[in-house]
Amino acid sequence: MIDANIPIKADNILRVERPIGQTVAFQTGTIVKAEVMDIIESGMVMLKITPPIGQSEGVEGKIIRAKSFVVLEKGDTVLLEANNDEEGLRFKVIERNVQHIESRSNETEGESFLEGIPKKFLEMLTNMSSLRLKSGDYQILKDMLNTMPALLKNNFPEFKALQSFLPAIEELNNKFFKRLVESSGVLFETRLKQLALYGKAFQGDDQKRLLMRLKEIVGSEQVSNILKFEGLKKSDIIDTIDRFIKNIEFYQLSSNINDMLYTYVPIIWNDMRDGQMIFKKEKKGDSNSFTCDIKLDLVSLGLIIATITWYKDEFYIYFNTQTSLTAGLLTMEKGELKKRFEAAGLNIKHINVIETKGLTFTNNEPHGLDVRV
């Protein structure tokens, strides 16, 4: 399964390559303002640092060169949080085009974000987090639907309708992906409300509606007798259906708590352990930039994180991998990727591939639209 997520904020990283003039050190958690003095090829930027009063004195106005994993423009001002790891100093972009900076405590973004949420909702979300399904669980549902007697599938179209929402990775395209997100069941009650208030009918079907209807069908006496005759246990089928309904309810609760759409895409992909897509839109002057972060934890290639940004009719693509083997394979195929973009009439400004030891698939609480596969 792949999570699809459009957050308000994401982990935009600037990796410091070399300070100009002298070594500059910051304590982890230090918040600084920086002005983008220049943009260099290969994703490099020149930053003029302004730390808050009382922190990192002596570096006021120092120029730092960094590799940027987010699109910046000359003249931008950004608010950064310093972090030190085994590879050196890096900054996380917190805000853009800020006008001033004040000293902040080291509380995390997640802590401040959660302050306004009632404790009972957080406890409920914690208790329900174990209900989120993994990629292999969707194969279980598909296998269950395949075992249903032909008599039931022919008389109740809900069986085949739900099965159509469980594609293999080879079947996925942009139109099918859109359909899966819209019909995931997370918006089921919202669509019912639109129907009641405005008479706006469902477009297509809904997975939660189908699951609830199938639970009702399987629970009927007539269908129970057919299942018993075929050697199938009604209780096992209902338990499986309940697992998938609760999975949808976990995403519904997460969406309400985070004030966003947090959903999943039930793709069956044997090579994938986990996946996530994060979509975001940011305002830069009089233009917008759109970014998709794709995280794939694959059995064959390990963890791959791809960041694709579209800004002023150009694409900026960054790949981050766990292993040198995967980084080498991606580097070899950069030319082919560029050809395919150009064949589709799309312009790539930059493609960069790096290897990061200790790269992890982090599952931070989403602050936007999150779709999990």
Classify strands 88-96 and 77-85 as parallel, antiparallel or unpaired: antiparallel
> Any idea what DSSP says for residue 254?
H
The helix or strand, by DSSP H or E, that contains position 196, with its residue range, turns out to be: helix 188-198
Question: Do 85 and 129 belong together in one domain?
Answer: no
What gap in Å lies between CA 227 and CA 224, rounded to an integer? 5
CATH number of the domain within which 284 lies:
3.30.750
pLDDT (tens digit per residue) in 159-196 = 999 988 888 778 877 788 888 878 888 888 877 877 77
Q: Does some domain include residue 207? A: yes
Q: With a cut of 70, which residues of the chain have pLDDT below it?
A: 1-29, 41-43, 51-61, 69-70, 85-88, 94-131, 135, 199-204, 258-260, 361-373
The residue from 114, 140, 161 where one domain ends is 114
Give me the pLDDT at residue 59, please.
53
Residue with tokens 């591939």: 353
Q: Does some domain include residue 120? A: no
Question: Do 299 and 241 belong together in one domain?
Answer: no
What gap in Å lies between CA 314 and CA 334, rounded to an integer? 16
Q: Does some domain include residue 119? A: no
DSSP string, 128-166: HGGG---HHHHHHHHHHHHTS-HHHHHH-THHHHHHTT-
Structure tokens at 138: 């969707």
Question: Do 277 and 251 belong together in one domain?
Answer: no
Give me the pLDDT at residue 123, please.
63
Give me the pLDDT at residue 260, please.
65
Question: Residue 230: CB partners within 8 Å, gap ≥ 6?
Answer: 149
- E strands present in the chain: 2-7, 12-19, 31-40, 44-50, 63-68, 77-85, 88-96, 262-265, 272-284, 287-298, 302-311, 314-321, 348-355, 368-372
Q: Does some domain include residue 267? A: no
Number of domains in the chain: 3
What gap in Å lies between CA 262 and CA 368, rounded to an integer? 7
Give me the pLDDT at residue 170, please.
80
- Long-range residue pairs from 148-154, CB within 8 A, at least 24 positions apart, any chain: 149/226, 149/227, 149/230, 149/232, 151/226, 152/217, 152/223, 152/226
Can you give the pTM of this predicted structure?
0.57
Question: Do 281 and 246 belong together in one domain?
Answer: no
Give me the pLDDT at residue 104, please.
40
Q: What distance lies between CA 217 and its chain's CA centroid?
A: 35
Question: Do 172 and 253 belong together in one domain?
Answer: yes
Give me the pLDDT at residue 156, please.
94
Question: Do 105 and 146 belong together in one domain?
Answer: no
Q: Does some domain include residue 2? A: no
Domain of residue 181: give its range.
125-261
Q: What distance lies between CA 279 and its chain's CA centroid?
A: 7
